[in-house]
Amino acid sequence: MTDGPLIVQSDKTLLLEVGHELAGACRKEIAPFAELERAPEHVHTYRVTPLALWNARAAGHDAEQVVDTLIRYSRYPVPHALLVDVADTMARYGRLRLEKDPVHGLVLTSSDRSVLEEILRAKKIKGMIGERVGADTVIVHPSERGSLKQALLKVGWPAEDAAGYVDGEAHSISLVEDGWELRTYQRDATSAFWHGGSGVVVLPCGAGKTIVGAAAMAHAQATTLILVTNTVSAHQWKQELLRRTSLTEDEIGEYTGAKKEIRPVTIATYQIMTTRRKGAYTHLELFDARDWGLVVYDEVHLLPAPIFRMTADLQARRRLGLTATLVREDGREGDVFSLIGPKRYDAPWKDMESQGWIAPADCVEVRVTLTDSERLAYATAEPDERYRFCATTDTKTKLIQALVDRHRGEQTLVIGQYIDQLDELGALLDAPVIKGETRVRERERLFDAFRSGEINVLVVSKVANFSIDLPEASVAVQVSGAYGSRQEEAQRLGRLLRPKASGTGARFYAVVARDTLDQDYAAHRQRFLAEQGYAYRIVDADTILAGDDF
């Protein structure tokens, strides 16, 4: 028995003692193969899952490394059955391989004939494969490449895709490092993606995921389709590519609600791609509009279902997913693994902070107590109305005013879910409100005014959760959210993480109604950030209203 920070249990849960001196090092080493489930104050609970183990295997980790990590940090002897299961699970990845055969084209091969026999008898897989052309080889129609990988993952035999990629239409793209240069981690991320062929790069908000995308394009030297979350993001991508690469205005097209340009590099929004007319996704033909050599999925954790389906047909194209968190609240991480590719690079947020690439952040949960009348109204509300009631309670309003006043002069974002609440706060704070109905031109004008310091306070809805570059934002006050969304919490904190010219850190407030669903959801929302090493201090609203230090 050693005095390690980890307790490894036979049900594949890992208990990490947060206060232990080795907790940080342990968290970093278990992150590639374990997922955080709960993160209260003193002991965090992780679970070793098959998908996490396969992601680790695809990223180059082997079972010996995982076993060594568990044994080295565990306080008690690690259950032998768990170690065996880790080795067996990781060994499943790669026994089936998709390869290019000079005679038969795309084939599925197996290093274990019994596995091939097993999957050939699976009903969902039978229709995806063709003739058997050897004891260990079957033909696969190219159009089934993605669907087959999805199906194999679901039956527990993830295939390694070694079939290669078409080059696509050649197009010259180079980085123009004028007064800047690729950071080491950006170069490493690009290299890991390129050598892997396709996959996902996970970097914190503010760490330059767009530059990784540009570097991948310079590697590909080919026409590129870039899918983004909204029109503002499309404009930011275009400006960044014009600034960082040899591309000109004429080479970059915008495919959004306002424009329909198809050029060697085309930036399209998920929204336009998933627009339906008479039941048909009329714009999905953009995927076939050119012989793309690279497809980039920005904020890949938001990938809509129709794009998943089209991505199944794009398996011969190199695909790069960019995100700050692979967490999906719909549980479709397996589809990202199958159709975009495994996680190729992941930089822990706290490591990036310690190196000065992102700003340090202080996370504070401020708890307000409902009045007696509010508590009664909450208790008697219909179940589907309770969260909205406690998230938008009037008791929060005075506190939000006090928080904004405390940081007067600093660039502050007030972020929420419910539009009527945001409109009231905008009027109270005499601050502009950006929401879904705000026109793109007006959004960009307000964002520019905020960047320049002309506006100090912005009230924003979920439209500002993703891909909005506000480098000088240093304070965020979250008043309500999308229930218990971990990805949203991470993205909202991410608005603050770009390094400040002043060198100061960031302050992220989550305003939460005590003893309600708001508090329960807040605990769930914070899980991903807890995994990254962020700890929320809990402060009572009365402390802030009294103007006290905390």
Check residue 364 and give its pLDDT: 93
Nearest to 226 by CA among 94, 322, 120: 322
Evaluate if residue 332 carries a pLDDT over 70.
yes
> What average pLDDT does range 384-411 have in this prediction?
92
How does strand 199-202 pair with strand 318-323? parallel
**Distance of alpha carbon 389 from alpha carbon 326, whole angstroms:** 30
β-partners of residue 6 are 16, 74
Check residue 531 and give its pLDDT: 74
> What average pLDDT does range 174-179 have in this prediction?
91
Check residue 527 and give its pLDDT: 81
> What average pLDDT does range 386-405 have in this prediction?
93
Check residue 1 and give its pLDDT: 54
At 132-172, the pLDDT tens digits run 999 999 999 998 999 999 999 999 999 999 999 999 999 99
Mean pLDDT of the chain: 90
Check residue 40 and give its pLDDT: 67
At 466-512, the pLDDT tens digits run 656 777 789 999 999 887 788 788 888 888 888 777 777 889 999 99
Q: Which CATH class is domain 184-347?
A: alpha beta
**Distance of alpha carbon 339 from alpha carbon 199, whole angstroms:** 9
**Distance of alpha carbon 354 from alpha carbon 349, whole angstroms:** 9
pTM confidence score: 0.84
Q: Which helix (H) or strand (E) holds 98?
A: strand 96-101
At 92-108, the pLDDT tens digits run 999 999 999 999 999 99
Check residue 498 and give its pLDDT: 82
What does the DSSP assignment read for 105-171? EEEEEESSHHHHHHHHT-HHHHTTEEEEEETTEEEE-GGGHHHHHHHHHHTT-PPEE-S-----SB-
At 252-270, the pLDDT tens digits run 999 998 889 999 999 999 9
Q: Which residues contact 375 (CB under 8 A, 6 or more apart)?
A: 515
> What average pLDDT does range 432-449 have in this prediction?
90
Topology match between the domains 184-347 and 353-545: yes
**Distance of alpha carbon 530 from alpha carbon 301, whole angstroms:** 19
- Sign of the alpha-carbon torsion through 88, 90, 91, 93: positive
At 274-285, the pLDDT tens digits run 888 877 888 888
* Cβ-based neighbour number of residue 23 at 10 Å: 18
**Distance of alpha carbon 432 from alpha carbon 119, whole angstroms:** 58
**Distance of alpha carbon 343 from alpha carbon 53, whole angstroms:** 11
Q: How far is residue 406 from each of residues 129, 270, 387, measured CA to CA in Å?
A: 64, 38, 28
Check residue 105 and give its pLDDT: 93
At 40-70, the pLDDT tens digits run 668 888 999 999 999 899 888 999 999 999 9
Evaluate if residue 317 carries a pLDDT over 90.
yes
Q: Between residues 201 and 535, which one has the greater pLDDT?
A: 201
Among residues of the chain, what percentage have pLDDT more than 70? Answer: 98
Nearest to 317 by CA among 429, 430, 198: 198
**Distance of alpha carbon 476 from alpha carbon 534, whole angstroms:** 15
Q: Out of 178-192, 278-292, 397-411, which region has the weakest mean confidence (pLDDT)?
A: 278-292
**Distance of alpha carbon 435 from alpha carbon 252, whole angstroms:** 27
**Distance of alpha carbon 339 from alpha carbon 310, whole angstroms:** 10
Sheet containing strand 13-17, edge to edge, reads 6-8, 13-17, 43-48, 34-38
Spans of all domains in the chain? 6-91, 96-161, 184-347, 353-545
Single-letter amino acid, residue 136:
D
Q: Is there a contact between 256 and 231 (Cβ–Cβ < 8 Å)?
A: yes
3 state DSSP class of 392: coil
**Distance of alpha carbon 83 from alpha carbon 302, whole angstroms:** 34
Number of H helices, E strands in the chain: 23, 25
SS3 for 44-74 is EEEEECHHHHHHHHHCCCCHHHHHHHHHHHE
Q: Which two tokens stand for residue 353?
A: 């902070």
Q: Which helix (H) or strand (E) holds 507?
A: strand 506-513
Q: Between residues 379 and 332, which one has the greater pLDDT?
A: 379
> What average pLDDT does range 350-377 have in this prediction?
90
Rg of the chain, C-alpha, whole Å? 25
> What average pLDDT does range 521-530 have in this prediction?
85
Q: Which two tokens stand for residue 478?
A: 């979250």
Helices (H), 340-459: 349-354, 372-380, 383-391, 395-406, 419-429, 440-452
Domain 353-545 classified CATH 1.10.20.10? no
Q: How far is residue 230 from each of residues 149, 235, 465, 549, measured CA to CA in Å?
A: 29, 9, 11, 40
Check residue 454 and give its pLDDT: 93
Among the ranges 74-88, 335-349, 531-545, which has the highest mean pLDDT value?
74-88
Q: Is there a contact between 256 and 272 (Cβ–Cβ < 8 Å)?
A: yes
Check residue 210 and give its pLDDT: 95
At 5-44, the pLDDT tens digits run 999 999 999 999 988 999 989 988 998 899 877 766 688 8
Q: Which residues of 146-172 are buried (b: 16+ CB within 10 A; e: fewer)?
A: bbbbbbbbeeebbbbbebebeebeebe
